[in-house]
Structure 1
């Protein structure tokens, strides 16, 4: 059958039927099933659709279809969007907005090279501007994490933002007496406090008149990561409790009586590939005066030198050492922290003096399409950490 040109009026962006979504998951499983079998991958995707973040329309499966005047429609490519909450700060005013995270972009090999995925993403970008918001309103922005470099999605409006990380080796160390392991029951309250802190800091943070945005690190988002991790752990390790013995994260009490905390997720990669199994730090949370002065900007040599001997840095390094322990217990190769600040990097260097910040050029490129007034170039993406990934 002859296929239409990418600009054909017979191509339409639609919400997939359950049957079309299942077929798309079959097709894209080679890309994203990781260490899972096909059957387990399909069960995981069904399981994740039942989570608070994604159920009841929280996740929308999009398809670009060829719909001739006669005959059934034919799916050419697809993606998903997840409805999220975010904060936008301008001139000391903070507002909450609906945003969408785009994921699972996939075009079967037989349809590649025809521009269909590009057409779909162009149409998705326009649709998401007003998708699932009140009448007369627009979404604040949309995000995606590109695994095909920076240029292709930028051409469709998703501009690349800083995509940096630093790693520590998985390592068994003597646990600090100041550390308390975080379990699932601790996370609801931690997320609530984190949201309060983030709103306060966005309101007072000085950004030279620029607009700051941050994905909300709410419990629904964290629960989705936990569910994804738990499913894979059960499939791969059954009842091996050692794999998860490091808990969900760790917290430590600071000198002023406040706390610093981080939570993480374990990511197992496809054994056929060379990519390391990684414990990802999803979010670092710092309370107290040191936290109120927290520099949201990327790490600099000057900033690291300034923070080097601060008690706060020592406390954060204890958290990262706990993460190394948890990674070792789970058979991980490393711990990874996205977009480190000077505090983060100073803490990492206490544990690994030769640790260096890596700039990602091809994978997990954090990208944002701005729908509001002004230009994306006037936007600072605050707390651009792994928790926002989808």
Structure 2
């Protein structure tokens, strides 16, 4: 192998991958991310995901750091590492004004083993962080970009992506819930567009009351459908089944509802990680939904006995039943509020919040005014992950 360039070489460039380069990069990262899928099935899944509403027509951009000395053609450049970004819609609230904004989610950061330890991934991320501010925007810059680190908090923080609280609650699949909980009804894909519209309206209203600058990724139907396209492909490929139930809904009171939308996540059989049903989004209509504060023991005490807690417990119980139906081990919900923790304890009195320090670390790079130190990132649930 010819000598490799230094990470600071002017011959290194951040570029958008050609279709052929993107295919080759997908092949290179397949051992890392195809899980239980065969290599041909992994290629089919990635092609399927590229054609979803969230990602098609330029919604997903494949990026590469390449070595391309002056005078070298595009066909002869050497790929050193790569990643992908997905354009997302976000909401931002400043001084009571809520606006739609552009954000980007960074995913699939991968450096082949032979190029690791040389600073290439760091160079790529540093350049990408700057590039995304003006990427695929018209009248104003993107407001922020996000990623979920599986290598801890330091690497991406050093390149501008601040680590935000990353926690979850977990419930065992198939547990028998208290009989006093209200009845839930299953949600199908056809139910989600109207619920997402209602959720969007509620979220805009809630954010207008934010006391400090606050952002949220919009839990729109295109985002949820991308997650469901992923699970549906794997379920069909591995089990020849279609996961038709997408979540559950409970009526708290006439005209007031709570619902959750979930996805099934299968892990690599070679790993020790459990197959898990993840709650993508938990939505509550009404005033209770305005409390975005992280779960606390005092907060749990304050909401005990609330019909909202019972409703969410019923949703969690429905998720447990669905997880057991698909032979999964657990149900997981990210960054719970006190209402969600109190609901989990209706089912399992020992439920607690687990703080993640290594995997799925929610990280945000701010492009707006100021340094973003006081920024709140709310509704930071699994639906945002990419």
Query: Which TM bucket (shorter chain)?
Result: over 0.9
Identify which range, 141-150 or 253-262, moves more after superposition.
253-262
Aligned equivalent of 1:56: 57
CA distance in 1, matches of 2:254, 2:165: 32
Identify which range, 166-175 or 348-357, moves more after superposition.
166-175
From 322, 326, 330, give the equivalent of 2:326.
330
Residue 198 (str. 1) matches residue 203 (str. 2): yes
Identify which range, 160-169 or 230-239, moves more after superposition.
230-239
**Would you say how many aligned residue pairs link Structure 1 and Structure 2?**
380
Residue 129 (str. 1) matches residue 133 (str. 2): yes
Aligned equivalent of 2:155: 152
Identify which range, 101-110 or 22-31, moves more after superposition.
22-31
Matches within 5 A, 1:119-268: 119-135=123-139, 137-171=140-174, 173=176, 178-205=183-210, 207=211, 210-239=212-241, 244=243, 247-268=245-266
- 1:280–1:386 contact (8 Å) kept in structure 2: yes
Secondary structure of residue in 2 paired with 1:21: helix
Render the CA deviation track for 1:273-304: whole Å, top value 9, x for unaligned: 1000000000111013433xx31010010000
Identify which range, 33-42 or 189-198, moves more after superposition.
33-42
Aligned equivalent of 2:12: 11
- 1:279–1:323 contact (8 Å) kept in structure 2: yes
CA distance in 2, matches of 1:159, 1:313: 32
Unaligned runs of 5+ in 1: none
Render the CA deviation track for 1:25-69: whole Å, top value 9, x for unaligned: 111111111221111111100100000000000000000000023
Cα drift, residue 327 of structure 1 = 0.3
CA distance in 2, matches of 1:77, 1:365: 21
Identify which range, 167-176 or 355-364, moves more after superposition.
167-176
- 2:182–2:250 contact (8 Å) kept in structure 1: no
CA distance in 2, matches of 1:69, 1:261: 56
CA distance in 2, matches of 1:94, 1:290: 20
Cα drift, residue 172 of structure 1 = 5.5
Cα drift, residue 70 of structure 1 = 4.6
If the length of structure 2 is used for normalisation, what is the TM-score?
0.96
Cα drift, residue 189 of structure 1 = 0.4
Indicate how the Cα distance of structure 1 residues 67 and 251 shifts in structure 2: closer, same or farther if over 3 A, else same. same
Aligned equivalent of 2:283: 285
- 2:182–2:310 contact (8 Å) kept in structure 1: no
Secondary structure of residue in 1 paired with 2:165: coil
Secondary structure of residue in 1 paired with 2:134: coil
Aligned equivalent of 1:115: 119
Aligned equivalent of 1:74: 78
- 1:256–1:288 contact (8 Å) kept in structure 2: no
Aligned equivalent of 2:348: 352
Unaligned runs of 5+ in 2: none
If the length of structure 1 is used for normalisation, what is the TM-score?
0.95
